Chain A
């Protein structure tokens, strides 16, 4: 069970003065129950890629398939895919519109025609996952705090019961407690067997949390692999289109200077290695 992206090309406004190639031959695979981070700058094509995973955009060339269903026009493919793949846009709290938290979260399931008797369970389950208690079910979503709003918005996607969750920069604008809480939620969802596709510009986050990392640069995939492999690449060479985290650059510099520093992402391990290397 996976999302398979093969040779994906997307051209905006084909045949007009505004024609731009946003994606150029991107391939990767996101398994259910795993965490894939898609890392790149603004304009690298991350958001365009995200919108292909649930058929909001359709490939100009190449293919996207979800659990074997090809994403394309017709035969109800799009509806099936959109139900399987939940998409959380950047600043998702901006899409809230209902009068109560409960109604907001039931918007999705109702659109998918989920019967009334299971609807309530779905909504309560989703709100439970994001840590919103029953005391807030009747609250006005616009009156919640920033972090709460964001979690309600994510619950409103989870309530449709997606197997995969695509999140575009889900921690943007949150402070570190809010960020921690959100990342815990995503780890939890992964443990429950959902596939997480995390679109971010934060390499530090990706290295620490993802099972697989895809680096996008100007619409092309410049790296694809496990975090330790990616870390090695980052230390060894300049990867186009990335701001290398300070710690990685630091480790790289020390290696160049003859320190025996392992490929690690743990600050204490790095510090320990420097200490031992220095002692010799």
Chain B
């Protein structure tokens, strides 16, 4: 029986490093540029550049490499699936065929390209959450979205919701596991039968989970009120966001690097 035991994967690793100390806004925008860049490269040079930059960032972040690699674990099935689909279902010049199965050169290229893209995508995003605490992330997003507040956009509320959601994911996964086990101990069979039967079998897990979530939400609201929380107005910060030269440099670097990677990659692919 496999339970939900990946709870600590992709979570913030509090160590001191250059990457940790960057302004969250710089990291968020920088990663966005990188993600677009990763999606726009097609050839080996492009992927090589993104791969090398990633290695550089990981070593600068001082996050253990195995934790960075483990961010891919929850999505590796998706990666493999995407790659396989492209491998078998892309038409073109046949490389190899066996019965009705045919692998084409274009298929192999597409599979490698999509696989690499997804892996890099997840790892870059993972590096952001590994080096930025949920509170910083929320503060960063709140600040980035604050210009839209005048149009009624609830920047603070969304950021607060995100903080709380991130905080409670591990707790709720634990909770779910405990309830599943308790019902299995009472003879429930959660992993047998067709989809409908399975769905029905999950009612004994879902109902208690909802009850717990509502109870938690209620308690949490009381606790926040008791700690003088009255919304975003008038709040200060222990670590106010401070944009420094370092952040400008890092952001400029990521923008230039993205353009350079896409440009050089495109040129290398020209006949």
A and B assemble together: yes
List A residues at the B interface (Cβ < 8 Å). Answer: 12-13, 16-18, 51, 54, 56, 79, 82-83, 86-87, 89, 92, 94-97, 107-108, 110-112, 142, 156-157, 160
| Residue among A12, A95, A160 with the highest chain B CB neighbour number at 10 A | A95
State how many angstroms separate the Cβ of B70 from the closest Cβ of chain A.
7
1/0 per residue B181-212: CB within 8 Å of A?
11111111100000000000001100110011
State how many angstroms separate the Cβ of B170 from the closest Cβ of chain A.
12
| Residue among A17, A54, A92 with the highest chain B CB neighbour number at 10 A | A17
In the docked arrangement, what's the CA distance between A95 and B207, Å? 8
B187 lies within 8 A of A94 (CB):
no
16 contacts between A and B (CB under 8 A): A16-B70, A17-B70, A18-B5, A51-B181, A54-B185, A56-B184, A56-B185, A94-B178, A94-B182, A94-B212, A95-B204, A95-B208, A110-B187, A112-B187, A156-B186, A160-B187
Identify A82's interface contact among B70, B178, B179, B187, CB under 8 A: B187
Identify B181's interface contact among A56, A79, A111, A160, CB under 8 A: A56
Number of A-B contacts (CB under 8 A): 63
In the docked arrangement, what's the CA distance between A18 and B4, Å? 13
Residues of B within 8 Å of A96, CB to CB, are 208
- The verdict on B67 contacting chain A, using a C-beta distance below 8 Å, is yes
In the docked arrangement, what's the CA distance between A17 and B68, Å? 11
B187 lies within 8 A of A18 (CB):
no
- The verdict on B171 contacting chain A, using a C-beta distance below 8 Å, is no
B182 lies within 8 A of A111 (CB):
no
List B residues at the A interface (Cβ < 8 Å). Answer: 1, 5, 8, 64, 66-67, 70, 178-179, 181-189, 203-204, 207-208, 211-212
Residue of A nearest to B175 (CB): A94
In the docked arrangement, what's the CA distance between A86 and B187, Å? 10
Question: Could you list 11 further interchain pairs (A-B, Cβ under 8 angstroms) beyond the known A108-B186, A112-B187?
Answer: A17-B70, A82-B187, A87-B182, A89-B181, A94-B178, A94-B179, A94-B212, A95-B179, A95-B182, A97-B204, A107-B187
Residues of B within 8 Å of A12, CB to CB, are 5
B187 lies within 8 A of A95 (CB):
no
B181 lies within 8 A of A107 (CB):
no
State how many angstroms separate the Cβ of B188 from the closest Cβ of chain A.
6
| Residue among A12, A18, A87, A97 with the highest chain B CB neighbour number at 10 A | A97
Closest CB pairs A-B (n = 8): A111-B187, A97-B207, A87-B185, A95-B182, A108-B186, A89-B182, A97-B204, A112-B187
In the docked arrangement, what's the CA distance between A56 and B208, Å? 19
Residues of B within 8 Å of A56, CB to CB, are 1, 181, 184-185
In the docked arrangement, what's the CA distance between A86 and B5, Å? 24
Residues of A within 8 Å of B204, CB to CB, are 95, 97, 107
Residue of B nearest to A58 (CB): B1
State how many angstroms separate the Cβ of B56 from the closest Cβ of chain A.
22
Identify A13's interface contact among B5, B181, B208, CB under 8 A: B5
In the docked arrangement, what's the CA distance between A50 and B120, Å? 42
A83 lies within 8 A of B5 (CB):
no
State how many angstroms separate the Cβ of A68 from the closest Cβ of chain B.
21
In the docked arrangement, what's the CA distance between A17 and B184, Å? 28
In the docked arrangement, what's the CA distance between A51 and B182, Å? 10
Residues of A within 8 Å of B203, CB to CB, are 97
In the docked arrangement, what's the CA distance between A97 and B188, Å? 13
Residue of A nearest to B188 (CB): A111
In the docked arrangement, what's the CA distance between A68 and B237, Å? 62
B186 lies within 8 A of A94 (CB):
no
Residues of A within 8 Å of B211, CB to CB, are 94, 142
In the docked arrangement, what's the CA distance between A108 and B179, Å? 14
Residue of B nearest to A111 (CB): B187
In the docked arrangement, what's the CA distance between A243 and B211, Å? 34
Residues of A within 8 Å of B182, CB to CB, are 87, 89, 92, 94-95
State how many angstroms separate the Cβ of A115 from the closest Cβ of chain B.
15
Residues of A within 8 Å of B64, CB to CB, are 17
Residue of A nearest to B179 (CB): A95
Residues of B within 8 Å of A16, CB to CB, are 70
A160 lies within 8 A of B66 (CB):
no
In the docked arrangement, what's the CA distance between A130 and B188, Å? 22
Residues of B within 8 Å of A110, CB to CB, are 187
The answer to whether A97 and B178 touch (CB under 8 A), given A17-B66, A17-B67, A108-B186, is: no
| Residue among B1, B8, B185, B208 with the highest chain A CB neighbour number at 10 A | B185
Residues of B within 8 Å of A18, CB to CB, are 5, 8
Residue of B nearest to A166 (CB): B185
